[in-house]
Amino acid sequence: MPHIEMEDGVEVFVRDVGEGDPIVFLHGWPLNHRMFEYQFNHLLDDGFRCIGIDLRGYGKSDKPYGDYSYDQFADDVKGVLEALDIERTTLAGFSMGGGTATHYMSRHDEAYVDKLALLAAASPVITEKPDFPEGLTESEVNPLIEGARTDRAKMNADFSELLFHTDQSEEMLHWIWHLGMEAAGQATVASAETWRDADLRPDLDDITVPTRVYHGVHDEITPIEITGEVLAEGIENAELVRFQNSGHGVTADETERLNEELADFAGQ
């Protein structure tokens, strides 16, 4: 079932391949499930079942004009897991997908999920709040949103270059750009406003499953000091795994190590 219909009629694209213990991947902004290509390749060979979801507005999913809140994304994840009827899942969320994952765990009582993997997660808070002055300022984030409104092609090119700490080929950067351009413009803007403004700290108290927080120490988009370390401290059963040679794009900066860490964790 490459597409699964949600309660509001929106069809969400799902790639479901392999057998064995399932790992469900939630992509980051403004990409889609294909960003995990090099995780799928390794984990399928290791005997896992890999399930990639294109969040609404992205990739091959429907792109309605409307709600791109964490509530909506979490409800869509619930709809997919319910339709697939799988148990003991490892839920792996990257960046905005990490925010979706932590919110899902609270909003839907950890349904179907046995383990949680957070990859450079945009959670629980990105921008500063009265009681969280460590966050980024809105003036640091807003140029991405304004760029998505006025010149999304250039914004995606600039964003692609921000992702990585290690050198990546021009072809890799162009591929990342292409994934971003597959998203709907309104979804790109609206969901960026979601992760900019969200405060998911209350959700952390509801997460009880074993959790791994994988985060690059050179991350400039979701700095480890305001996201990864906060997640590890706020989730009772969490462990922070630092990637010393990674920026935000840990999936490509340290692909082999990340794949080994995910296989070890999901296979426990």
Q: Which residues are catalytic?
A: 95, 219, 248
Those residues whose C-beta lies under 8 Å from the C-beta of residue 30, and which sit 6 or more positions away, are: 58, 148, 156, 159, 179, 180, 183, 187, 188, 191, 192
**What is the bridge-based pairing of β-strands 49-53 and 11-17?**
antiparallel
Cα 256 → chain centroid: 19
Q: From the CA atom positions of the chain, what is the Rg in Å?
A: 17
- The Cα–Cα gap between 268 and 48 comes to 12
8 Å CB contact between 56 and 12: yes
Beta bridge partners of 12: 4
Exposed e or buried b per residue across 182-219, where buried means at least 16 C-beta atoms within 10 angstroms of its C-beta:
bbbebbbbbbbbbbbebebbebbebbebbbbbbbbebb
Residue closest to 96 by CA, chosen among 230, 188, 203, 206: 188
Token pair belonging to 102: 């932590």
